């Protein structure tokens, strides 16, 4: 069952855009998507351990692959980092607006909402991106994500 709502997908798009607008030097292989996942690594590793983070990333990538088959080359390494998601592939899906990477981030956020709940997920994101605006994230119900 896929728990990625349009609001979660939009939120993932915003986080990726936020990372794209930053002037800081990127991590190795550092697309905006990789930077989002790397920034989430520390708090999620504290919460679930290194193996837990790797499991969440692996599941997010697997769910994203079901939606965008061109992600077949993306792998989660033993340390939880991603390989093959640098946007330099020849496949159209990997390049068009970073859509493939946004799907990976959205799946990760969807898993977090499922496992730890929306309030804790939002708090974790606020801790990582304290200046990120959550304005406009309300979908018209009580749901923010």
Instruction: Give me the pLDDT at residue 75, please.
Output: 92
Strand ranges for the chain from DSSP E: 75-76, 82-83
Residues of the chain with pLDDT under 70: 1-2, 23-30, 86-97, 133-145
pLDDT (tens digit per residue) in 46-85: 989 999 999 999 999 999 999 999 899 999 999 888 888 7
Dist. CA 14–CA 31, nearest whole Å: 14
Dist. CA 8–CA 128, nearest whole Å: 17
**The pair of three-digit structure tokens given for residue 54, joined into one six-digit string:** 């790797």
Count of residues for the chain?
145
Global pTM value:
0.83
């Amino acid at each position: 069952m896929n728990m990625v709502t349009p609001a979660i997908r939009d939120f993932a798009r915003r986080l990726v855009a936020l990372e794209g607008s930053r002037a800081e030097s990127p991590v190795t292989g550092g697309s905006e998507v990789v930077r989002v996942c790397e920034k989430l690594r520390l708090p999620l590793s504290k919460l679930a351990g290194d193996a837990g983070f790797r499991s969440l990333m692996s599941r997010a990538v697997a769910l994203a692959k079901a939606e965008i088959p061109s992600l077949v080359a993306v792998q989660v390494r033993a340390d939880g980092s991603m390989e093959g998601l640098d946007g330099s592939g020849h496949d159209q899906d990997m390049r068009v607006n970073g859509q493939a990477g946004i799907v990976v981030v959205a799946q990760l956020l969807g898993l977090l909402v499922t496992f730890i709940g929306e309030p804790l997920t939002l708090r974790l994101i606020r801790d990582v991106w304290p200046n990120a605006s959550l304005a406009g994230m309300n979908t018209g119900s009580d749901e923010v994500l």
